[in-house]
Structure 1
Amino acid sequence: MAGVSDWFSIGSTVACKTCYNKEIEGEVLAFDPQTKMLVLKSPSSCGRASVNDVHIVNLALVSDVQVKREVSPTGGDPPQSLNLNRLNTRVRNQVEAKKCIVKSLQAGVSPEGQKLFIAIAKTIQQITWSGPNIVVLNDVTIAPPYKLDNVHGNEQSKAYNHIRKVVEKHEKDTAIAVESQQQTMQKGSSLQ
Structure 2
Amino acid sequence: MAESNEVFNIGSSVSCKTCFEEELQGEVLAFDPHVKLLTLKAAATNGRPSLCDIHMVNLSYVSQVRVLREAAASPLPTLPSLNLSKLSTRAKRSIDEKQRLIEAMQSGVSPVGQKLFLTICKTIEEVKWTGPNIVVMGQVLIAPPYLLENVREQKDGKEVNGKTLSYIKKVVEKFHKDQQSLSLNNGTGVAEVHPVSQ
Where on the TM-score scale, by shorter chain, does this alignment land: which range? Answer: 0.7 to 0.9
Larger radius of gyration: 2
Amino acid at match of 1:78: T
- Structure 1: which amino acid aligns with 2:142? I
One-letter amino acid of the counterpart of residue 169, structure 1: K
- Residues 1:87 and 1:36: Cα distance change in structure 2 (over 3 Å): farther
Greater Cα shift, 74-83 or 33-42: 74-83
Structure 1 stretch displaced more, 104-113 or 59-68: 59-68
Cα gap change, 1:19 to 1:145, in 2 (>3 Å): same
* Pairwise CA distance, 1:79: 3.5
Verify: 1:150 aligned to 2:125, yes or no. Answer: no
* Percent identity of equivalent pairs: 45
Q: Work out the CA distance in 2 between the residues paired with 1:34 and 1:3.
A: 11
Aligned to 2:115, what secondary structure does the other structure show? helix
Equivalent residue, structure 2, for 1:161: 166
1:28-61 deviation line (CA, Å, top 9, x unaligned): 2222221111111111122222322111100111
**Counterpart position of 1:180:** 185
* Per-residue deviation, 1:124: 1.4
Q: Helix, strand or coil for the counterpart of 1:146? A: coil
RMSD: 2.5
**What does 1:132-151 correspond to in 2, within 5 Å?**
132-151=132-151
Q: What whole-Å deviation, never above 9, does each CA across 1:107-148 have from its counterpart, x for those lacking one?
A: 000111011011111111111111000111122111111111
Runs of 4+ off more than 6 Å: 183-187
User: Which string of whole-angstrom CA distances, capped at 9 and with x for unpartnered residues, describes residues 149-182 of structure 1?
Assistant: 1112266432222211111111111121122234
Counterpart-to-counterpart distance in 2, 1:32 and 1:19: 20
Residues 62-88 of structure 1, C-alpha deviations (whole Å, 9 max, x = no match)? 112222233334357434344443333
Count of residue correspondences: 187
Q: 1:46 to 1:100 in 2, by over 3 A?
A: same
TM-score using structure 2 length = 0.81
Specify which structure has the higher proportion of helix.
1
Q: What is the rounded CA distance, in whole Å, between the counterparts of 1:2 and 1:155 in structure 2?
A: 68
Q: Say yes or no: does 1:20 pair with 2:25.
A: no
Equivalent position to 1:171, from 161, 176, 193: 176
In structure 2, relative to structure 1, the CA distance for the partners of 1:63 and 1:120 (3 Å cut) is same
* TM-score for the superposition, normalised by structure 1: 0.84
Structure 2, unpaired ranges of 5+: 154-158, 193-198
Q: CA deviation at 1:4?
A: 7.1
